[in-house]
Amino acid sequence: MPLNYLDLFAGAGGLSEGFIKAGFHPVAHIEMDRAACFTLKTRSAYYWLKQHGQENVYDDYLNGRITREEFYAHVPLEVLNSVLQRTMDENNLDEIFGRIDELRDGEPIDLIIGGPPCQAYSLVGRARDEHGMIGDSRNYLYRLYARFLEKYQPRYFVFENVLGLLSAKESNGDKHFDLMRKTFSACGYTTETKVLNARSYGVLQNRKRLILIGKLGGSEGFYPKIEQMPTDQYLVKEIFDDLPSLQAGGGVPTPVKTKPYHGTYLYRAGIRDPGDRYEMVSQHYARPTNAHDKAIYHIAVEQWNHSKKRLMYTDLPAYMRTHKNLDSFLDRFKVVAADLSYSQTVVAHLAKDGHYYIHPDIRQNRSITPREAARLQTFPDNYYFESVSGRPSRTYAFKQIGNAVPVNLAFSIAKAIRECFIHPDDYPKETEGIIHFKP
């Protein structure tokens, strides 16, 4: 029997995709963002169609031969309805529980995964808010998470968030991290935490995340040993080498054929499928640039080429600055250097400021495309990012991709959690880097 899980605050499904790859079964995804919910529905539809030998329907949709409504009509309603678009609060939890109980049909919930929106905990978010996010309602979403633990009593849960959670405080100085773990402890869970860098788990990106794992009952020392996937032998250029070259404003959202690929990373990371009969990618189109964009790109590229230093906002001449904030969020211009073994963190706001791609042989002075960003996040090439309207939108895609947990990081965590279910007594445990809770 597959192990069943719920995904809370699911976003576009990066965390969930890793658990599906590891053999877990999603009972429901709960997410408030409408576009992300369509993405989750489309991915759920893809898996159902693949299971039933109807992948041609998915191809028809990506190529624009049928509408989203026509595409969804090929899939059972219970598959689409497993994605619940909800802004969770105490007033609608009973309704959500009722929908989940219908979907699980008496089966247990073995695992809960997910992490609340990070803005209230992030250092950038706190720096930009005049009150430092103190009192922000998003600080307390973990209490709703705890309600799901109380209701379903899964054997494990995985809670993901930014490192800023470790230092975020109440007005009286109490740390949200400590309050959160006390709440989970009151639900019957022992919790342990570790900071993981996606770069160590098959992702060519320097992206650190706090991964808290809870176990029902038990004692300290259970945090599973998560197998690393070193990537130092690869360069970022391998992510992009088989994609068609583009200028700013070029490309199309519909599938295009890739160039011949002779590497190994895209297969090892699960981005490209060795059995993919089409070798096509969608959403490979760059946003247009104006004269102001090009001037900033030029400075960013020249500074990187000259000193290997990434452009900070304060490096720009005053007349080129369009934001008043000179104290935080200064690294909004992120150069993706193809000749390094990792990139900077892919962020949700890249639709506006962006990452700029420098190829060692061909200078592509433009923002990266949604497909390039998705590959940096190790999403499979057949993963499609939806908009609200059903029409292609770089803005919606970038927001979802930047907020997502890299799929390969999620997959590494999921494999370790699965072994905890199969071999609870003799599966190897982590011994270093664990943050223990002291109530």
**Residues 206-252 pLDDT 10s:** 899 999 999 999 788 999 999 999 888 999 889 988 999 888 889 99
What 8-state DSSP symbol labels residue 35? H
Asked if 100 contacts 151 with a C-beta cutoff of 8 angstroms, the reply is no
Give the C-alpha separation, 236 to 246, whole Å. Answer: 17
Q: What are the structural domains of the chain? A: 3-227+405-436 (3.40.50.150), 237-403 (3.90.120)
Residue with tokens 């909800």, as numbered in its chain: 86
Amino acid sitting at position 157: F
Classify residue 352 as left (phi > 0), alpha (psi -120 to 50) or beta.
Answer: alpha
* Number of other CB atoms surrounding residue 390 within 10 Å: 12
Residue with tokens 């400075």, as numbered in its chain: 299
Asked if 353 contacts 244 with a C-beta cutoff of 8 angstroms, the reply is no
What residues contact residue 147 under an 8 Å CB cut-off, 6+ apart? 93
Identify the pLDDT of residue 138.
Answer: 54
The mean pLDDT of 422-427, rounded to a whole number, is 84
Amino acid sitting at position 350: L
229 class by beta-carbon count within 10 Å (0-12 exposed, 13-18 middle, 19+ buried): middle
Asked if 14 contacts 405 with a C-beta cutoff of 8 angstroms, the reply is yes
Residue with tokens 């633990």, as numbered in its chain: 149
Identify the pLDDT of residue 130.
Answer: 47
For residue range 341-353, what is the model confidence (pLDDT) as tens digits?
888 778 766 666 5
Q: How far is CA 352 from CA 209, 329, 375, 385, in A?
A: 24, 13, 19, 17
| Counts of helices then strands in the chain (DSSP H, E) | 15, 14
- What 3-state DSSP class applies to 176? helix
Instruction: Decide which of 65 and 206 is more confident.
Output: 65
Quote the strand ranges of 64-203, DSSP E: 83-85, 111-114, 156-161, 189-197
Structure tokens at 423: 């071999």
- What 3-state DSSP class applies to 82? coil
Mean pLDDT check: name the lowest of 124-138, 351-365, 423-437: 124-138
Residue with tokens 């490209």, as numbered in its chain: 272
Mean pLDDT check: name the lowest of 48-62, 113-127, 260-274, 406-420: 113-127
What residues contact residue 259 under an 8 Å CB cut-off, 6+ apart? 241, 242, 243, 244
Give the C-alpha separation, 371 to 264, whole Å. Answer: 18
Q: How far is CA 376 from CA 152, 209, 271, in A?
A: 35, 16, 9
Residue 130 phi, psi (nearest 5): -65, -20
**Predicted confidence (pLDDT) at residue 48 exceeds the cutoff of 50:** yes
Q: Which of 183, 180, 170 is nearest to 135 (CA)?
A: 170
**Predicted confidence (pLDDT) at residue 129 exceeds the cutoff of 50:** no
Q: What is the mean pLDDT of the chain?
A: 87
When pLDDT is cut at 50, 70 and 90, the band that residue 135 belongs to is: very low
pTM of the model: 0.91
Mean pLDDT check: name the lowest of 51-60, 86-95, 108-117, 312-321: 312-321
The mean pLDDT of 358-369, rounded to a whole number, is 66
- Catalytic sites, residue numbers: 118
Instruction: Decide which of 164 and 87 is more confident.
Output: 87
**Predicted confidence (pLDDT) at residue 124 exceeds the cutoff of 50:** no
Structure tokens at 81: 């309805």
Q: Which of 196, 197, 193 is nearest to 180 (CA)?
A: 193
Instruction: Decide which of 302 and 272 is more confident.
Output: 272
Instruction: Decide which of 411 and 293 is more confident.
Output: 411
Query: Buried b / exposed e across 411-431, counting CB within 10 Å, b at 16+?
Result: bbbbbbbbbbeeeeeebeebe
Instruction: Decide which of 317 and 119 is more confident.
Output: 317
